[in-house]
Structure 1
């Protein structure tokens, strides 16, 4: 495991220190610092851009060849960080005594370590990671007219006020596709010059607003539309096991909704979030994977397998099997048997 120690809280200096370790090229245009690298360390792109009132954006789209600890060790107050992971996952630790926290894909994350406390992010090896950091230096942001931080809940407000500099703060909230869509739009900005800068800043504040809104609703024990709680995610995982165990039975949205205790809308949202598929697409995929394994490893006939996975029409099964694997089930079975013998 390699370690990278960062001794600054300023985005531009962070990117420079990352360049010293990851190598690559560092370019600056329209107020953005962009680090690109592709070497024995891995490949990817890291960009930073600073705006007024202590607000900045640090974007990572990387894949590292070795598990990497990035340790931020500075004596100055750390910014409040609003983190959103669009792809992959990582771990976070404050100091040396706190337990590692799992930071997961599509989860709304807010962290603010206590003053002079080091923070560690662990980036897994050979994993595509897309991470969006919105960083706010508290004292500068409080100078912003109409910052309205008094509307935050008491604890988060005190974090912004820096009243509890010795009190670490970490929020790992709901999972949101609405925020994911806005982060994706942020990465798709292709304008140049002032139009680009204004577009990025506008998108950044919209994402920040959505993250604060999620935090507020989370504290009020409510869930926003287009978001899921941890218990919802757990139910979706349990439902995926139910689907495998009941693969011979009819799988309707109504049945799965009753089994999970989630509404049909939330059910569809959960499968889109976890598996990037609708419920029906996911069920069909599982049926095909089970059928493929049975064709390869069992003596069941194609007709028996079709019945076992709960599909009524053999011709329909052959059609969707061909669409998925570009081979007919009978041919796949013959090929698999020849290889095994």
Structure 2
């Protein structure tokens, strides 16, 4: 294992220390510092950017040839970290503890060490990793907090107000899909210069906002949670399967959500994430696909098909079908017969 020792803030120092450890250089583009990992150590990059008021974002997109241990140490209060893993998995530990925390793909964690003790991140060899860490110096960041914190969760409120780092804190969050979308937009941005810096600062604020919302949602009991997680995806697919199996008498959204163990708002959001449409639109898509297949088979008449898909109003069924296939069911059946002849 290769162990590297770096400072935590400002992030320019992190990149400078890593460049020295890797015996290489780094680039500075509009205060965004990028280190390309030398070939003998692996591939990818580590990039850091500082914003005003002790606020910074560091990104690791890399694949190392050896296990890498990055040991963050400071001669002042250690920053608060909001970490999110998009690809792969890494391990985290506090300097003063032996236990390791696994940060899995799509998972976010919030960590704060006590006083001047540091953090350790362990990157496995031969594994693609994409990790973002939002770093906050709480004393400097206090200037940014121009809003009252009373609405914030009591644990987070205490954490932000712990300016002298007296509280050891570790929150192992759920799998966040909103964060994955946010990170993806950073990755696909083609902005440069000043506009990129503004964009990154906006995204850093968005990352913090998502992390706080996720934390507060995690603290709720399961039925009251509103934010869609990776763990909800199986429930969404199960719900989609139930709709397909019960076209003639589909469950209501509330009943379907209860059946798969979620709530209606998360069910709707899940269908928008996975299928790009609402539950009812997805149901109608299944109905029309089934109806089209049955007309092609030719064993049922139009009324029987409408009954099979649970639509008693034949005019409504006809309008739905025409909106999807440009012909009403009778016209479509006539065209099928003509083509077969």
Same fold (TM over 0.5): yes
TM-score (norm 2): 0.67
1:29 aligns with: 29
Residue in structure 2 matched with residue 225 of structure 1 by the alignment: 227
The within-5 A match list for 1:1-341 is 1-144=1-144, 146-162=146-162, 165-221=165-221, 222-228=224-230, 252-253=241-242, 261=261
8 Å CA contact 2:68–2:123 kept in 1: the answer is yes
Aligned equivalent of 1:307: none
Compare 88-97 and 54-63 and name the one that shifted more: 88-97
What do you get for the CA RMSD once the two structures are aligned? 3.1
Secondary structure of the residue aligned to 2:111 is strand
Q: Is the 8 A contact 1:67 1:124 kept in 2?
A: yes
Q: After the TM superposition, which parts of structure 1 deviate over 3 Å for at least 4 consecutive aligned residues?
A: 147-150, 251-270
C-alpha distance in 2 between matches for 1:24 and 1:68: 17
Once residues 156 and 89 of structure 2 are traced to their aligned partners in structure 1, the CA distance between those partners, rounded to angstroms, is: 24
CA positional deviation for 1:23: 3.6
Q: Report if the CA contact (8 A) 2:96-2:117 is conserved.
A: no
Using the TM superposition, give the Cα deviation of residue 37 of structure 1 relative to its aligned residue in structure 2, in angstroms.
2.2
Cα 1:119–1:145 change in 2 (3 A) is closer
1:25–1:37 CA contact under 8 A, matched in 2: no
Deviations 1:212-238 (A, max 9, x none): 111112123343333246xx58xx59x
Q: Deviations over 1:232-263 (max 9, x none)?
A: 58xx59xx9xx9xxxxxxx9446899997467
Structure 1 residues 260 and 149: alpha-carbon distance in aligned structure 2, compared to 1, 3 A threshold: same
| Residues 225, 97 of structure 1: alpha-carbon distance in 2 compared, 3 angstrom cutoff | closer
Query: Could you list the runs of 5+ residues in structure 2 that have no partner in the other structure?
Result: 246-255, 275-341
Q: Compare CA radii of gyration and give the structure with the larger one.
A: 2
Going from structure 1 to structure 2, the CA distance change for 1:64 and 1:112 (only over 3 Å counts) comes to: same
Q: Which sits farther off after the overlay, 191-200 or 258-267? A: 258-267
SS for the counterpart of 2:38 is: strand
The farther-off stretch of 255-264 and 55-64 is 255-264
Q: How many residues get paired?
A: 258
* CA deviation profile, 1:170-212 (whole Å, cap 9, x unmatched): 1111211111001110122221222111111112211211111
